[in-house]
Structure 1
Amino acid sequence: MPDDPTTQARAGQTRRRGATLETAILHAAAAELTEHGYAGLTMDRVARRAGTNKNAIYRRWPDRLALGIAAYRQLATTIEPPDTGALRDDALELLRRANRHWSSPLGAVLRELLSAAGGAQSLVAHLPEQSTDAMTAMWLTVLGRAVARGEADPSALHPRVATVAIVLLRNEFVTRGMPTAPDEVLIDIVDEVYLPLVRSRAPR
């Protein structure tokens, strides 16, 4: 007697290997993150949703946090740096984008992941918006254009200087626990800290 469709489907699922199975797990974990947040992410639920078992997940990700970070990467999008023609406007746009994202439901997931990761920079670096290389590259691009226009001192083209504004905004969320930052805070960061710093660098 031939197998019924349900049996055949289950058999097909058990034969999944490699990238196909990994993709199914990540899609399932991303859906769980979207619906329940990191607090509601469990290996059992992801396994059921992906039609696999927990062992298959643990072979790829050692714990719930590693899986959560990998799943978040499926949900994040890549953005291009703004090019308004003015450093102040570019910096404000970058901060406003970050503020909107960190204030959104997906941003809430990001904050949960950052809190869970603590000081584990090796894990935090896998989060798209928190990757030191990606974040620095975007701010250096914006600042480099400003230097070319004569709006900023060339000596400001240093990673720590370029990213001061976004680091200060991130502190509003991570350190102070704010659900969102008022626009006047963003303007204050740019006008009172960032622009004076990059326009007039003290000699070494």
Structure 2
Amino acid sequence: MRLQGRSAEIVELVLENTAEEFGRSGYAGLRVDEIAARSGVNKTTIYRRWPTKDDLVLAALHWISPYKHPPNTGSMREDLLAMLRGMAEAASTPKGLAIYRAIQIERAQPAFEPLLARLKVELLASRQAIFDRAMERGELPSWTDGALVGEVCFAAAFLRIVTVGQKLDESFMQALVDLIIAGAKNVTPRPKDGA
């Protein structure tokens, strides 16, 4: 069901305020009553749509995500570059950079672990679609571990943004993708555990 009019405006306002507050205060510091006040709605309005704080934060992070749906350009290389460019664009704003940093900081908080696990499942599914299509097109061997390839690629990008504090420039993104693809193409099948 697609929301329209005032309902859509309220949802966007709540998600925008939640994303900003998460970037500013982190998960532990985020208060639903403050989000409600900033958004001009009752707390019950928020809880009706998002029953838990985790649901609200996850929805906000998904809403601002630069890759809600995996790109499908017909080329794995271009799909990966499109996702990395989305990360670079998000990280180029103070809000986006604050959110990336908050995710990194909050990883150590036990209360954030269930939300992080849900976020990881969504991200892995989004990335896996790219590798599944690449294997169907013959761009990668059929035994490729897409989850591992995606983790290596996007962890390197995340590390550069958050830990190293550098921008994802075009030359870095292209070099990273080319390295990832070359490595993935040259991996031999691994025996099954216990084999």
The 5 A counterparts of 1:169-184 are 169-178=157-166, 180-184=167-171
Equivalent residue runs for 1:1-204 within 5 Å: 30-31=16-17, 34=20, 37-39=23-25, 43=31, 45-46=34-35, 48-49=37-38, 50=40, 61=53, 69=57, 72-73=60-61, 75-76=63-64, 79-120=68-109, 121-126=113-118, 131-178=119-166, 180-192=167-179, 194-204=180-190
Q: TM-score, normalised by structure 2?
A: 0.66
Q: Report the counterpart of residue 10 of structure 1 in structure 2.
A: none
Give TM-score scaled by structure 1 length: 0.63
Q: Output the CA distance in 2 between the equivalents of 1:103 and 1:68.
A: 24
Take 2:30 and 2:146, find their aligned partners in 1: how far apart are those partners? 41
Decide whether the 8 Å contact of 1:33 with 1:68 is kept in 2. Answer: no
Which structure is larger by alpha-carbon Rg, 1 or 2? 1
CA contact (8 A) 1:136 1:159 kept: yes
Contact 1:82 1:93 in 2 (8 A): yes
Q: Percent identity?
A: 22
Q: For the structure 1 residues 155 and 112, does the alpha-carbon distance in structure 2 shift closer, same or farther, using more than 3 Å as the test?
A: same
Give the RMSD, CA atoms, in angstroms: 3.6
CA distance in 2, matches of 1:164, 1:74: 21
8 Å CA contact 2:153–2:176 kept in 1: the answer is: yes
Q: Compute the displacement of 1:31 (Å).
A: 2.8
How many aligned residue pairs are there?
168
